[in-house]
Structure 1
Amino acid sequence: MKLENPLRSAAALIVGLVFLSPALYSIWLSFQTADAYYAGGLEFTLDNYGRAVGQYHFARYLFNSVFVSGIVTLGGIAMATLAAYAFARFTFRGSDLLFGLTIATLMIPSHISLIPNYLTLARVGLLDSYAGLILPPMASAFATFFLRQYIRGIPRSLDEAAYMDGASSLQVLTRVIVPLARPAILSMALYIFINEWNSYIWPLVAIGKSDLYTLQVGLARLYKINPGEDLIDWPLVMAASTISILPVLLGFALVERHLVRGITMGAVK
């Protein structure tokens, strides 16, 4: 019995290292020179990060991704929370049909809306702009569904007590529902952020200016950078990849406790 916990911890550590091995190898490779990599030797350097940030403008790409993903997350979670609150707490004509249509959009592949979104934004002149990157992905049907199920598990008696104290519907949302649903809201915020952070197709289609490229588009462009003899500079690519995952790891570390709690409680409810 005394060996049970150490053995379980060791097994979990080994499994974790197996899953993390690609990321660890990428970080290891990012500190090597291209010549040493192709020659099979070891020669460590920090120049790959300096070149990615300075020469290949990854500082600008990082800002674009942080800005766009942040605004999409804030706007998306606000819209999802308002919609979920309406679906969970109010009954109006066509509410079930409207909620059903919202859920039905989950079955539509995202690539189907690519051309309609492109034509719409082109008609209103929002291509090659931050607005063109931000507006289409802001609505999240999954976040609305998840938060609606979570809010339905919150006792209505709390709403009624707030109404008796003279609170409005908006005050009930901000002072009762949002504090109680914070784990679920943070979980969905991280979900929206990661989805937008990893988005590649829409930024590639909507943006033609290099100063508006996101990290994913900029990372794909690095495959055209050769150290010579038509070879891909993999250490440089891995350095840029490491830069691209740092904000996601930071966000996960900040809300990890709420993420697990929100997903678990949402599933139970």
Structure 2
Amino acid sequence: MSAPARRSRPRGLRPGTVLAVIALVLVSAVVLLPIAIIVLTAFKPVAEVNAYPPSLLPDAWTLDNVKEVTAELPFARLVANSFLFAGGVTAFALVFDSLAAYALARIDFAGRKVLLVAIIATLMIPFQATLIPLYQLVADLGWVNTYAGLIAPRAADAFGIFFLRQFFLSLPRDVDAAARIDGASEFRVFRSVVLPNAVPALLTLGLFTFVNNWNDLLWPLVFTTDADMGTITSGLTLLTGPGGIVPHGVMMAGSLIAILPLVIAFLLIQRRFIENIATTGLK
């Protein structure tokens, strides 16, 4: 006589899973709360923005803050400058960082380790310590209030070189050797063999570089004195009224418009980003 089949008991959530979900919800709430405050304050009337005690949800929704920020600032020009600045830095950094990282990771030459240590050591130098010499150099070249002055000093980055070097080291060298046996030049190996397998790393570095430069405030403030050459972040500082009074509703409306391109850029590349991570090493 065969043994009776065991009934499968429905599995409940484990305590560890429940705690992980609760922690995820709490962390997500903490991260999203400032964004929610920006969005909701941008559509509040001035009276509600300045009311005490403050409220999270507006009683009356309005577009006055958005209209005022677009009227007081050359917003289209500032957004275009931000795209040229952040996009230009990202494009040049990906080219120069990947070339330097490839040389440090895949080519044996004298002094390679010393050069790598020197590049990493620059990460320990505060950015503010090099700001005045950089400005003097840009001023001597006549690049103040120009796109060249904004982009050129950031065309390469020590972190990007180190990041891509570590990724290139993880790729197998067998394909490189096979390509060289077939007569491929070093640049051909770099372009046709290494880069196609490094798309996830390039997308990651590109996203971080673009976001960091888009959100940067100090750099455009120092290297541009003309309002028409400012970026969206530096332009928002012009909204401060007399006596240091900050129109919070208008400021939040400007901040909301400023982060929208970043959200759109992330939504556009996230699918390709995930697909390339899943297929890394299979090409």
Q: TM-score higher than 0.5 here? A: yes
Q: Which residue of 2, 23, 26 corresponds with 2:12?
A: 2
**In the aligned structure 2, how far is the partner of 1:238 from the partner of 1:169?**
50
Contact 2:199–2:276, Cα closer than 8 Å, also in 1: no
- Is 2:49 aligned against 1:32? no
How far 1:168 sits from its partner (Å)? 1.4
Structure with higher Rg: it is 2
**In the aligned structure 1, how far is the partner of 2:26 from the partner of 2:101?**
40
The Cα offsets for residues 218-260 of structure 1, whole Å up to 9 and x where unpaired, read as 112212279xxx7421111000011111122223333446379
The Cα offsets for residues 55-113 of structure 1, whole Å up to 9 and x where unpaired, read as 32222111111111000000001100000001111111222211111111001001111
- Is 2:65 aligned against 1:48? yes
Distance 1:231 1:149, change over 3 A: closer
The Cα offsets for residues 127-184 of structure 1, whole Å up to 9 and x where unpaired, read as 1111111111221100100100110111111101111222211111111101111111
Structure showing the higher helix proportion among its residues: 1
Equivalent residue for 2:76?
59
Pick which of 30-39 and 76-85 moved more: 30-39
**In the aligned structure 2, how far is the partner of 1:231 from the partner of 1:119?**
33
Equivalent residue for 1:247?
261
- Normalising by structure 2, we get a TM-score of 0.84
Segments of 5+ residues of structure 1 without an aligned counterpart are none
Secondary structure, in 3 states, of the residue corresponding to 1:43? coil
Fraction of identical pairs, as percent: 38
Contact 1:33–1:235, Cα closer than 8 Å, also in 2: yes
Equivalent residue for 1:143?
160
Secondary structure, in 3 states, of the residue corresponding to 2:50? helix
**In the aligned structure 2, how far is the partner of 1:197 from the partner of 1:175?**
31
- Is 2:39 aligned against 1:22? no
Contact 1:133–1:206, Cα closer than 8 Å, also in 2: yes
Secondary structure, in 3 states, of the residue corresponding to 1:91? coil
**In the aligned structure 1, how far is the partner of 2:46 from the partner of 2:275?**
40
Secondary structure, in 3 states, of the residue corresponding to 1:173? helix
Contact 1:58–1:215, Cα closer than 8 Å, also in 2: yes
Segments of 5+ residues of structure 2 without an aligned counterpart are 1-10, 53-57
**In the aligned structure 1, how far is the partner of 2:251 from the partner of 2:123?**
34
* Partner amino acid, structure 1, of 2:145: D
- Normalising by structure 1, we get a TM-score of 0.88
Alignment RMSD, CA only? Answer: 2.3
Distance 1:191 1:39, change over 3 A: closer
Distance 1:100 1:231, change over 3 A: closer
Contact 2:93–2:157, Cα closer than 8 Å, also in 1: yes
**In the aligned structure 2, how far is the partner of 1:251 from the partner of 1:259?**
14
Pick which of 118-127 and 162-171 moved more: 162-171
